[in-house]
Structure 1
């Protein structure tokens, strides 16, 4: 049994912000996973491990097949599901994926050894802020951030150094079941660090002329950022 996420689950990101009937329609109508991706998806559901939902899977298929990025960075490997999904749909990509959770690292190593048939994926073990400075600057075409939500704004300045001008950053679970639209007084005290971190992220990015930003109301929300200039100025207010 996988214990990590059963003990420390963030329930907010299991609350889709789109009408339930539409969510069900997307999840049942879009082409389903097959083979090892279906097996990994079933395992994650069974063990309560958060992975990207099926509508986001379909969106990533489209992104990968269209963009065909050469170099991908992922922060938050978990069991390796999304990295393997990206590899499957962009066979020429090289993927660097970062994970710090020991239990997830064990599962990711096993899954990548079995299913990364083209050896596209490099698993980097440890804290993101310790590993990011060692990665090459202006290198990545595509970044997927799916880790601690309060840390997105902490990681972003370093991530931006690693992304090429014109590169795309996709950040997952940014609506927290709709809580980000509320006043902080309405937020449970245990969730306020996440709330503050996400508000700082929005403040720094949504109207930043150095970035092109879009919010996608899919699952628990995606924030898409295009890096427009070499040196991005992130100005933030306090929350």
Structure 2
């Protein structure tokens, strides 16, 4: 845990809640043990979408569609979302959730490996939300930056790995060491690329917010 539980509980107690469909999908995901963004991360994401008022949103990692639907409720009229998912069991669930919410016209679900799908997309996407396999973020970055225009926003979730990212690689379980190393590489890249200005925010499981300068 990055922030103490009492603080998180208080912050989340201030939330006024989301739409009925988003609340239902969140409960269904929890019951099925499908990870979705945490409440405090969801609040930040909604706020950033409302501030940026994007024309085109790209999401890397759909899961059951919760975060795409959440963004769709706070984006301006005329905005569209393209979301990518490769896990076959989650794809029909996400499609059904988009249908239930009546969002099929504004959310397009692309299936397949994100590394391959990203190469087929044409810029610009002025808001990109990264929430896929954590060890792959660094491999997606070049294509994501190609798609992001100057002034565009990139939000990446789960970057602090419940605080594990600050630990020595030898303090991390062997099976997680590759992800640990790649996430550290990703964070270093975001903070040191001349074309980006990035903040690392210790909420949820860690979030970065980057804007493209060049």
For this structure pair, what is the TM-score category when the shorter chain's length is used for normalisation? over 0.9
Match status 1:96 vs 2:88: no
* Structure 1 stretches lacking a partner, 5+ long: 1-15, 230-239
Q: State the TM-score, normalized to the length of structure 2.
A: 0.96
Match of 2:183 in 1: 198
* Structure 2 stretches lacking a partner, 5+ long: none
Match of 1:131 in 2: 117
What is the Cα deviation at residue 85 of structure 1?
0.6
2:205 to 208, 216, 220: 220
What is the Cα deviation at residue 80 of structure 1?
0.5
What is the Cα deviation at residue 118 of structure 1?
6.6
1:76-112, Cα deviation, whole Å (9 max, x unpaired): 0000000011111114211000000011101011111
Match status 1:52 vs 2:60: no
Aligned residues: 213
Match status 1:160 vs 2:145: yes
Match of 1:174 in 2: 159
1:80 to 62, 65, 69: 65
Match of 2:19 in 1: 34
What is the Cα deviation at residue 185 of structure 1?
1.2
What is the Cα deviation at residue 209 of structure 1?
2.2
| Matched residue SS, 1:69 | coil
RMSD, aligned CA: 1.2
Partners of 1:82 and 1:164 in 2: CA distance: 22
Q: Aligned runs of 1:5-44 on 2, under 5 Å?
A: 16-44=1-29
Q: State the TM-score, normalized to the length of structure 1.
A: 0.86
| Matched residue SS, 2:35 | coil
Partners of 2:146 and 2:15 in 1: CA distance: 35
Partners of 1:64 and 1:82 in 2: CA distance: 12
Show structure 1 runs of 4+ deviating over 4 A. Answer: none
Partners of 1:117 and 1:57 in 2: CA distance: 19
Partners of 1:24 and 1:215 in 2: CA distance: 21
What is the Cα deviation at residue 208 of structure 1?
2.3
Q: Is the Cα–Cα contact under 8 Å of residues 83 and 95 in structure 1 kept in the other structure?
A: yes
Q: Aligned runs of 1:53-68 on 2, under 5 Å?
A: 53-68=38-53
